[in-house]
């Protein structure tokens, strides 16, 4: 359980132990649309890249929902996810993505190819709004941000 308004939480604290030694990750989160949500995705990819041993590779595939507010916002979502894909090409964390437009797509999870499924009540969007500034510790350290309260479950699968 991640408590409301707490600090000291990070993707590393929540996920690193469960992502170690895998070679493939699938993120299912229908709400990777807005700028801050895509920034959170990039921070997750950076964590995976940091914990991947030199010479190894961990592929990460995102399945998300389409932006439905406007055609312009959908185009921006597609453009931003394409930029993320391009920026992680050639790293030890190649990233791909796809859109699932089904109406019943709501559950959020991270699944590894080595037997872990992490269910996330809020998905990657667990940090509260903070003022982005190059001088604000929260801009560069997740632990300095306040979180939204949520549940995280770790389920061992057959992998």
17: domain CATH number? 3.30.870.30
Q: What is the pLDDT of residues 103-159, one digit of tens each?
A: 888 899 999 999 999 999 889 999 888 777 878 887 888 888 889 999 999 999 975
Report if residue 109 sits inside a domain. yes
Q: What is the pLDDT of residues 73-86, one digit of tens each?
A: 999 999 999 999 99
Measured distance CA(33)–CA(55) in Å, rounded: 32
| Domain boundaries, position 125 | 11-156
> What pTM was computed for the model?
0.92
When divided into structural domains, the chain yields a total of 1
CA distances from 73 to 27, 35, 70, 108 (A): 21, 10, 5, 22
């Amino acid at each position: 359980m991640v408590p409301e308004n707490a600090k000291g939480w990070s993707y590393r604290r929540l996920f690193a132990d469960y992502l170690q030694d895998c070679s493939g990750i699938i993120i299912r989160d229908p709400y990777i649309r807005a700028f801050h949500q895509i920034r959170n995705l990039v921070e997750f990819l950076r964590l995976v890249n940091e914990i991947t041993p030199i010479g190894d590779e961990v592929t990460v595939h995102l399945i998300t929902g389409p932006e439905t507010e406007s055609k312009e916002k959908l185009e921006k979502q597609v453009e931003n996810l394409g930029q993320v894909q391009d920026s992680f090409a050639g790293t030890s964390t190649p990233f791909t993505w796809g859109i699932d437009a089904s109406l019943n797509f709501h559950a959020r999870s991270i699944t590894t190819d080595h037997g872990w499924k992490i269910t996330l009540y809020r998905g990657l969007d667990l940090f509260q709004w903070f003022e982005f500034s190059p001088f604000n510790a929260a801009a560069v350290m997740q632990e300095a941000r306040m979180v939204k309260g949520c549940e995280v479950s770790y389920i061992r699968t057959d992998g």
